[in-house]
Amino acid sequence: MAAIERRAKANGIAKLTVSSSVTAQGFYARLGFTVQRDSYYGEERTIVMERALLP
């Protein structure tokens, strides 16, 4: 994830967005991502999370 963040910053990307499973939510939260909304694909719940990279 650190390599992805470095590359995104170098390319002027202000934030990263991930579609997280319920079980991976804690992993992304520990990396500084915050929940934005729930999304559903059929009955499967996906949690959309974001992390700001640039001010």
Strand pairing class (15-20; 34-41): unpaired
Range of the domain at 20: 2-52
Contact 53, 16 (CB under 8 A): yes
CA distance 8 to 14: 8
pLDDT at 4: 95
pTM equals 0.86
| pLDDT over 80 (residue 55) | no
CA distance 12 to 41: 31
Please tell me which residue, 54 or 30, carries the higher pLDDT value.
30
Contact 16, 42 (CB under 8 A): no
pLDDT at 41: 87
* Span 16-41, average pLDDT: 96
Contact 28, 21 (CB under 8 A): no
Tally of domains within the chain: 1
